[in-house]
Structure 1
Amino acid sequence: MADTASQVLLGSGLAVLSQPLMYVKVLVQVGYEPLPPTLGRNIFGRQVYQLPGLFAYAKHIVKVDGRAGLFKGLTPRLCSGAIGTIVHSKVLQVSHVVCAELPGASKKEPVSSLEQVLKETSREMVARSAATLITHPFHVITLRCMVQFIGRETKYSGTLSAFATIYREEGILGFFAGLIPRLLGDILSLWLCNMLAYLINTYALENGVWAFFASMLTYPFVLVSNLMAINNCGLAGGLLPYAPTYSSWLDCWSQLHKEGNMSRGNSLFFRKVPTGKRYVWEERRFR
């Protein structure tokens, strides 16, 4: 119990510190570009037109909403993190108890065996999936609170009122918008990371190089999930001209792929102007 409490506190602290980063990232994922490109230099010293990076974008948000504006959506995110940590911990505890009671469970296995890796990864997958399923409504509210910056709306002004709004307008399914690609991305990233670490037998890299590599490969799932969570929800950021009304997450994936936007928002530094597109000041986006 003490370990879970410490994990909740640590997670909450990290969430507060990283909130401005997530806020900017979500707005970039939507395609909102409040500042026009400027002439700068890339890492090779060549002059190129670049989009504002993390700090310039955050400075603009502070100019509009003040420093507190960087923390929109923090309350539901903290709720999501705390509840997710507790659910994850409880599911892992139950899975270990169940596995210990199975026939032959007393047999000792080498920690590095493939069978052990598969078992541990499977338990972690179940625990993560359960936590994601339970906390996804808070994730949806977090994203919508952030995207309100685009249209200057106040539709999702509080966590409890946001629950009532979503239920009234979209029903139960509204709380799980974007859930499938998010789950698929999490599961794929987990298995990819753990199996690569096992195959190379370099477990010291498990949470470093391979985690980064896996997150890069599965980023499109994160992007599609976030876009589906705000799709056609009544906010300017989820409607044209920023986003069409997607019929499903597969439709969203397909359109992003055709536009070459599968990695939009993946990097918040050295952001190049999209090739073949022009910046539209009135809409604060590229088309």
Structure 2
Amino acid sequence: MADTCGQILLGSGLTVLSHPLMYIKVLIQVGHEPLPPSLGRNLFGRQVYQLPGLLAYAKHIVKIDGKAGLFKGLAPRLCAGTIGTVVHSKVVQVLGSQQKAGDGSLQYVVNETAKEMIARSSCTFPLQIIKMLKSKSVLSGVLDSIFTVYREEGILGFFAGLIPRLLGDVLSLWICNLLAHLINTYAIDDSMSHTGEIRNCSQAVTGFFASMLTYPFVLVSNLMVVNNCGLAGGLPPYASVYPTWVDCWRHLSREGNMSRGNSLFFRKLPAGKMYAVDQKRFF
């Protein structure tokens, strides 16, 4: 119980610190571009039109909604994180853990990864929907968001984007753990100095690599949350309406826009795209 409380407190602190960044990232993912592109230079010194970066976007939000605007949607995100941590902890306890020092066999990695996959998949998804809509709309509160989702889409609305989210999480977990196992087994010798630190670093690197590979699943999931949800930002002309998440994936692939929102610093203007959306009308 003490460990779970500690995880909740640590997770809540990190959530508060990272929320402005995640808020801006989600807005960009769903196509909210309130500022026009400007002429700048890319990494090679060539002049190109670029969309505003993180700082410019944050300044615009502060100008419109004040500093508190950067923390819109924080409450449901904290709720989702707390419930997710508790559920994850309980599922791990039920499944049991084979903590064996020095056990780095492939079978051990597969077993532990399978348990972690079940634990993550068990976390409450409906609150993910609430925090998304609360972050990107003028809804007055969490209950208002819940009523809006239910009124527009019924009970299934709380599970919009679930399939790509689960696929992305599962693939990311397996890629990360199996790659880390291969590196730790075949590339790192126990006789090397600072072996533990090197292995921790390899886990972090493989985790970053896995998240990059599976990013399109996160993007598609977030787009399906706002897809035809009753808010202006999920309807034409600001957004296309997709019958299924597969149609959304295909549309983004044709546009070459599967990495939208993956970078908040160097954002090249997609060919043939112009953005000039007023924040007050978007959601």
**Unaligned stretches of 5+ in structure 1?**
101-107, 149-153
Matches within 5 A, 1:160-179: 160-179=143-162
Residue 181 of structure 1 aligns with which residue? 164
Between the aligned partners of 1:233 and 1:141, the Cα distance in structure 2 is 12
Q: Name 2:25's counterpart in structure 1.
A: 25
> For the Cα contact (< 8 Å) 1:37–1:51, is it kept in 2?
yes
Task: Answer yes or no: is the 8 Å Cα contact 1:193–1:206 preserved in 2.
Answer: no
Deviation of 1:280 (Å): 4.5
Deviation at 1:164, TM superposition (A): 2.5
Match of 2:191 in 1: none
Structure 2 residue matching 1:48: 3-state secondary structure = strand
Match of 1:103 in 2: none
Asked if the contact 2:227/2:241 (under 8 Å) is kept, the reply is: yes
- Aligned 8 A contact 2:37 2:275 in 1: no
CA distance in 1, matches of 2:88, 2:34: 38
Gaps of 5+ in 2: 189-198
Task: Give 2:250's aligned residue.
Answer: 254
Call closer, same or farther: CA 1:95–1:280 in 2, change over 3 Å: closer
Which residue of 262, 269, 277 corresponds with 1:266? 262
Q: Which residue of structure 2 lines up, in the alignment, with residue 67 of structure 1?
A: 67
Higher deviation after alignment, 138-147 or 221-230: 138-147
Does structure 2 conserve the Cα–Cα contact (< 8 Å) formed by 1:185 and 1:222?
yes
What is the deviation of 1:16? 0.8
Checking the alignment, whether the CA contact within 8 Å between 1:197 and 1:205 is kept in structure 2 is no
How well do the aligned residues superpose, as a CA RMSD in angstroms? Answer: 1.9
Q: 2:141 aligns with which of 150, 155, 158?
A: 158
SS in 1 for 2:203: coil
Task: Give the secondary-structure state (helix, strand or coil) at the position aligned to 2:96.
Answer: helix
- After superposition, the Cα gap between the structure-2 partners of 1:179 and 1:278, relative to the gap in structure 1 and judged at 3 Å, is closer
Contact 2:149/2:158 (<8 A) preserved: yes
In structure 2, the partner of 1:58 is 58
Does structure 2 conserve the Cα–Cα contact (< 8 Å) formed by 1:147 and 1:235? no
User: Which residue number corresponds to residue 218 of structure 2?
Assistant: 222
Residue 116 (structure 1) aligns with: 108
One-letter amino acid of the counterpart of residue 260, structure 2: R
The corresponding residue for 1:281 is 276
Between the aligned partners of 1:111 and 1:39, the Cα distance in structure 2 is 54
1:140 matched to 2:129: yes
Aligned letter for 1:187?
Answer: V
Deviations 1:87-133 (A, max 9, x none): 11111011007x89xxxxxxx796111110011101110111101xx
List aligned pairs for 1:229-244, cutoff 5 A: 229-244=225-240
Structure 1 residues 208, 280: closer, same or farther in 2, change over 3 A?
Answer: closer
Give, as a single letter, the amino acid of the residue that structure 2 aligns with 1:81. G
C-alpha distance 110-227 of structure 1, shift in aligned 2 (>3 A) = same
Please show how residues 38-57 of structure 1 align to structure 2 within 5 Å: 38-57=38-57
Q: Is the 8 Å Cα contact of residues 34 and 275 (structure 2) preserved in structure 1? A: no
